[in-house]
Structure 1
Amino acid sequence: MSINKFAVYHKAKSNFAYLTTDNKVHIKIKCAKNDADNVYLIFGDKYEWHKKQKIKMKKISTDNEFDYYGIKVFIDSKRLSYYFEIEKHHKIYSYTNFGFFDNIKQDEAYLFVFHFPYLHFEEKNNTPTWVKNAIFYQIFPERFEIGNPEYKDYVNAKWEEKPKYNSFHGGDLRGIINRLDYLKELGITALYFTPIFKAPSNHKYDTIDYMEIDPHFGTKKDFKELIKKAHSFGIKIILDAVFNHTGDKFFAFQDILKNQENSKYKDWYYIKKFPIDLEYLEKKRKEKGWKDWYIDEKTGKNILPYETFAHTQHMPKLNLFNKDAKEYILNAVKYWTKEFNIDGWRLDVADEVPQSFWKEFRKVVRDINKDAYIVGEIWSNSENWLNGDQFDAVMNYGVTYLCTQYFAENRINSIEFLEGINSLLMKYQEQTNFSMLNLLDSHDTARFLNKCNFNEEKHLLALTFIMTYIGAPMIYYGTEIGMDGEHDPDCRKGMIWNKNKWNMKYYNYIKRLIRIRKENIELQEGEFIPHFNKKLLSFERIYKNNKILVIINNSKKEIRYKLENNYTQELITNKIIKKEIILQPYQAAILK
């Protein structure tokens, strides 16, 4: 039986062939699962093809459909050409840039092999080295802490009240400053804030002024003080920015409403037609009884005369192909990156913004701060944004989804979970995987405890995975004390500061997990080696000659696990382990 040729895949200069941080080229190829006996790489300089080499590739990963083979190579001339030989039942299948060939004439091979034409080391994907060692903590500033308790006329809800979409509870930057000691003690090394720029809403994703701190939160002086104190504690600061759209109170859009077709800003947005009469449209919506903003319930069409984020009339979509609009935004980026010494950007609705803009954005940011972290909000496959010319990472909702299926909902078993994880890892470059922002929940989702139907043990197992997996783990504020919450706005409750109301089991366990990750480089920089076992979830993190084994029992049954002799200590409990470990239902172990 021949190989499944339709399953074989490789693409040059992609996540299947890229420069690693040590200036080697990582070559990967995908085959149908259990289909190949061996895979070989034939490679050399296209101008000296007679000196080509043949090397056996290693099976580096597998998922529910495919096996992945990989090898890292370097060639002194910096020109790399190659093809593959796939062996099955002692027969060789040659796979090239133009498909399969039965017989390759080696003197013509350079015409149809894959090419990495020249190894420009300056163009490799350089992600900030500090990210893989970071512990992130996400803060929704309006709900974290009130630092300035004086009367605020915009506040319309008590701190402990259940939040509504339009409620204001009074959180501010001074509150964050006052709680940096708490975050340092917890072990946090990086903070990501939802937007703090001037905007009318509590969430601030409807920007009015990109050059000003929202007065609800404080002043630029407060923000500088926050950054200075955070940096003194070794804590990085990541700002959230919304460049896909503005709020409708933004000066350029207001000028359009005033001057209509005569506005000099009309090309800053995607205007479908003039005039724009929002009062008339609102009146029409109410007359029709349309529930979903300006969606005609008969036709399903949005009747707004301009494009928006989703169907939200208060968030008109920016046209960043317009030179002046683009220049305005990039100047704001320069200002905050340089003047306030921030450590990176989280980018809202990143997949709806032109990729050409993100390439310019990256250059602007990195010219100011070569170690700035750039992370996009993209909920789906993000390969096109993660090749080193746009983002360092994305919010890893793929991992969130798998954790929800496995830990919270028991919809998949441990083998299916690890196959899903492997599939995600193979989509991206190695340095990208170590920079991904891994999360269980955020301001845009229900809290994971709610997804677990309030099963605390299962939630803590998922947190154990996030804290021991490749990439940067992120905690959503209040998770460490057991806060719950359904979807927005319930997931945005005021942080609980009364320790009598804290779940100390959560606090002590998460603090312990953070400490374990920070004290063991294997968990920060080690290779991820999954062990496929239906009864439990287990994997190793290997760094040089050091190993850590993570075992998670996501079941109601006690499980005995036999150990290799080199694992002697369980890090969560600090117990000495010998030949076997007994895992109780919903218990995890981290062994060294």
Structure 2
Amino acid sequence: MTGPDWVRDAVFYQIFPDRFARGDGPVDAEAPTRDNFLGGDLDGIGAHLGHLRELGITALYLTPIFAARTNHRYDTIDYLSIDPMLGDERTFALLVEHAHAHGIKVVLDAVFHHCGDGHPAFQDVLAHGPASPYVNWFHFQQFEPEPVYLTCSGCQYLPKLNVTNPEVRDHLFAAVDKWTGLGIDGWRLDVPYMMDNLPFWRRFQQHVKAIDPDLYVVAEVWEAATDWTRGDTSDGAMNYRLRDAILGFVTDHRLGGEWLARELETISGEIGAAGGLMLNLLGSHDTERLLTRCGGEPHAARFALGLLMAAQGAPMIYYGDEIGMRGFNDPDCRRAMVWDQDRWDHDTLTWLKRLTRLRREHVALRRGDESTVTASENVIVRARSHPEETVLVLANRGNAAERLAVGTGTGRDLITGEQVKLGAVAVHPWEVRFVRPD
């Protein structure tokens, strides 16, 4: 499988810019709503790159940063300008430069299925109707007695773009050219499946790869990712299917280890050879937070993080999950980042740092093939196999210890350094162990 090789070694971190930090201090602490702004900006992100580096992050995915009217900025009004509440072009260029100096790549959100109703082209159509030179940039169905047009998910402020129009494609690709020219490392495709236009995304992929084949293109996909993992439309996909599988096992005792093993095998079949280029996640700005999904139980959240970091593909941490932030779905999952360390879950933070270190130190956890060794009601054992080494991942979600036979001879626990007998490895309740056979 071709694609940018750096992704196979990456650990991503997702930031919702309005809620992370601002250059002169924390963002406002008021409760998030669908409409309020809390004041995060690009300088604030840059001020906390050290936190990301200490966490083991090597790539950053930013939700939209272009000029818009909402706090989420999925309603673009100017693809060629940074939203002034976040900074300007120079601010962004410095952020990319400083991120790269920290060994962190930067991926932006490509919101090309729709724009915002404040976009000048859309406003021109509203003003001039069928006489507007931009009338074919959108999907208008009528103008009288009131305009009717296609949108994203029925949101009238998100008019759907007509990407079959060469002028629209040129407009969007001009943005691609500008921001890749400032040194970004890839694009996340917003709702590409809603466009029902794979030829556009093939053109997009060709355009991006002509600039630099090392740029990463990853599609937002919630179902089977087959159309987005062949390399012609994108390099890989956001692995929401893996999220569902891991969290199903962690939170629903009707779904045991054997079920998880089958789900992982199915997902692997859907993805094919693109497994190492998937963007794996347990939470995002579109879901409830990890700790909330795990019933507020930190040990369950840490268990899920262990399984995430053991899976083939690049793991992604949603801002704040590393310190135990809580939140139900939008807007609650978009609370202000907590920078008061007295309120952090330091056990989860330490565990996550340990996991990212394991990935750095063991090529099998980054680039190894994966398979199930054994599975039962509360247990799953996965093998990550690479020509240089094999790492066994033993996970027990039960409330009683298990003693597992996973081979012969001895091995070494990669976290504790303890030597273990592979014929009887003890795994405590809600524990994930990483064992390298001798």
The alpha-carbon deviation at position 159 of structure 1 amounts to 2.1
Answer 1 or 2: higher relative contact order, Cα 8 Å, separation at least 6.
2
**Match status 1:499 vs 2:341:** yes
Aligned to 1:459: 301
The CA deviation string for residues 517-566 of structure 1, in whole angstroms up to 9 with x for no partner, is 11100001111021232141101111115211100001111111235345
Candidates 57, 65, 81, aligned match of 1:212: 81
Shift in Å, 1:576: 2.8
Match of 1:415 among 258, 270, 286: 258
**2:363/2:389 contact within 8 Å kept:** no
Q: Answer yes or no: is the 8 Å Cα contact 1:567–1:591 preserved in 2.
A: no
Match of 1:368 in 2: 211
User: How many matched pairs?
Assistant: 433
Q: Does 1:577 align with 2:411?
A: no
Cα-to-partner distance string for 1:16-51 (whole Å, 9 max, x where unaligned): xxxxx4xxxxxxxxxxxxxxxxxxxxxxxxxxxxxx
Q: How does 1:409-488 map to 2 (within 5 A)?
A: 409-430=252-273, 432-488=274-330
* Aligned mates of 1:389, 1:568 — CA distance in 2: 42
Please tell me whether the aligned partners of residues 409 and 452 of structure 1 are also in contact (alpha carbons under 8 angstroms): no
**How many angstroms apart in 2 are the aligned matches of 1:574 and 1:257?**
67
AA aligned to 2:225 is S
Q: If the length of structure 1 is used for normalisation, what is the TM-score?
A: 0.71
Partner Cα distance (2:212, 2:388) in 1: 34
Question: Contact 2:279–2:314 at 8 Å: present in 1 too?
Answer: yes
Matched, 1:195 2:37: no
Cα shift at 1:480: 0.8
Distance of 2:411 and 2:229 partners within structure 1 = 39
- CA shift, 1:209, in A, is 0.3
1:311-332 per-position Cα deviation (integer Å, ceiling 9, x unaligned)? 1000000000111111111111
Structure 1 residue 366 displacement after superposition: 0.9
Report the equivalent of 2:18: 142
Matches for 1:228-239 after TM superposition, within 5 Å: 228-239=97-108
Q: Is the 8 A contact 2:289 2:333 kept in 1?
A: yes
Q: What is the distance in 1 between the residues matched to 2:125 and 2:163? A: 17
Identity %, equivalent residues? 38
> Which residue of 360, 385, 403 corresponds with 2:246?
403
1:384 is aligned, of 213, 219, 227, to 227
Q: Please, which of 130, 139, 158 is the counterpart of residue 261 of structure 1?
A: 130
> Does 1:330 pair with 2:173?
yes
State the distance in 2 between where 1:312 and 1:413 align: 39
**Which runs of no fewer than 5 residues in structure 1 stay unpaired?**
1-20, 22-125, 151-157, 278-303
What amino acid sits opposite 1:507 in the alignment? Answer: L
Contact 1:400 1:440 (8 Å CA) reproduced = yes
Amino acid at match of 1:199: A
Rounded to whole Å, the distance in 2 between the matches of 1:276 and 1:435 is 49
CA contact (8 A) 1:144 1:494 kept: yes
Q: CA deviation at 1:161?
A: 2.1
Q: 1:334 to 1:270 in 2, by over 3 A?
A: same
Which range is displaced more, 420-429 or 568-577? Answer: 568-577
Distance in 2 (alpha carbons) for counterparts of 1:567 and 1:435: 32
Offset of 1:448 from its aligned partner?
Answer: 1.7
Q: Quote the Cα distance in structure 1 between the aligned partners of 2:144 and 2:166.
A: 24
Q: Which residue of 2 aligns with 1:512?
A: 354
Candidates 66, 77, 94, aligned match of 1:225: 94
Structure 2 CA distance for aligned equivalents of residues 166 and 525 of structure 1: 42
Q: In structure 2, what is the equivalent of residue 29 of structure 1?
A: none
Q: Distance in 2 between matches of 1:169 and 1:255?
A: 31
Aligned counterpart in structure 1 of residue 150 of structure 2, from 304, 307, 310: 307
Bigger radius of gyration = 1
State whether residues 399 and 429 of structure 2, in contact with CA within 8 Å, keep that contact through their aligned partners in structure 1: yes
- Residues 1:164 and 2:33 are matched in the alignment: yes
Q: CA deviation at 1:217?
A: 0.5
Shift of 1:342: 0.6
Q: Determine the C-alpha separation between the residues in 2 that align with 1:334 and 1:174.
A: 23
Equivalent of 1:586, from 424, 430, 434? 430
Q: Distance in 1 between matches of 2:409 and 2:228?
A: 41
3-state SS of paired residue (2:158): coil
State the partner residue of 2:402.
559
Tell me the distance in 2 between the aligned counterparts of 1:518 and 1:263.
55
Residue pair 2:285, 2:333 contacting (<8 A) in 1 also:
yes
Is contact 1:196–1:204 with CA below 8 Å preserved after alignment? yes
> What's the counterpart of residue 143 of structure 2?
274
Equivalent pair of 2:3/2:213 in contact (CA under 8 Å)? no
For the residues of structure 1 that align with 2:388 and 2:339, how far apart are their CA atoms? Answer: 43
Paired AA for residue 127 in structure 1: G
Spell out, residue by residue over 1:353-399, the C-alpha distance to the aligned partner (whole angstroms, 9 max, x if none).
22111111111111111100000112112212322211001111110
* 3-state secondary structure, aligned to 2:394: strand
C-alpha distance in structure 1 between counterparts of 2:227 and 2:420, whole Å: 45
Q: Does 1:521 align with 2:390?
A: no
- By how many angstroms is 1:149 displaced? 5.5
